[in-house]
């Protein structure tokens, strides 16, 4: 078995390991192993293969891992109360400046405070801008 075969097997095992875990660390080592395989196929000595592996892994940690983490974080779906942000609600209990009132969102009643400089009266539509524990922060829509 040629040394590039060994590097390729290592790369495949690391890719499978990455599929079973998260964090995008093993994939960086797999990129390094692919670099080592290319070096071995080109006839480089073991020292050069290891050097290529180290450099390719380092570059992958600097470039590939942050890119993959950024792409994967965009796909996260907001659930539970976090999914309320950006939604529209209706005031069911006056929200006074510096105090709280109540807002109905999809049939649920939530305690709310406002970002407005004036009170928000019953019946007004509001947009949910943030959430802290069980208190929504809203602004007029």
For the chain, the domains span 3-74, 80-140
Q: For 17-34, what is each residue's pLDDT tens digit?
A: 999 987 788 999 999 999
For position 74, what pLDDT does the model report? 59
As a CATH number, domain 80-140 is 2.40.50.140
Residues 6 or more apart from 103 whose CB is under 8 A from it? 89, 90, 91, 92, 95, 109, 110, 112, 126, 128, 136, 138
pLDDT digits (tens, 9 = 90+) for 102-125: 999 988 999 999 988 999 999 999
Does the pLDDT at position 64 exceed 90?
A: no
pLDDT band at 81 (very low <50, low <70, confident <90, very high): confident
């Amino acid at each position: 078995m040629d040394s590039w075969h060994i590097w390729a097997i290592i790369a495949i095992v690391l890719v499978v390991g990455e599929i079973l875990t998260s964090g995008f660390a093993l994939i960086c080592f797999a990129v390094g192993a692919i670099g080592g395989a290319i070096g071995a196929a080109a006839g480089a000595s073991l020292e050069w293969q290891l050097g290529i592996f180290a450099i390719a892994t380092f570059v992958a940690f600097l470039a590939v891992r942050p890119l993959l983490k950024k792409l994967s974080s965009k796909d996260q779906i907001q659930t539970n109360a976090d999914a309320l942000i950006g939604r529209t609600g209706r005031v069911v209990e006056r929200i006074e400046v510096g105090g709280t009132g109540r807002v109905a969102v999809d049939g649920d009643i939530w305690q709310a405070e406002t970002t407005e400089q004036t009170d928000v009266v019953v019946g007004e539509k509001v947009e949910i801008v943030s959430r802290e524990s069980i208190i929504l922060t809203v602004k007029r829509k």
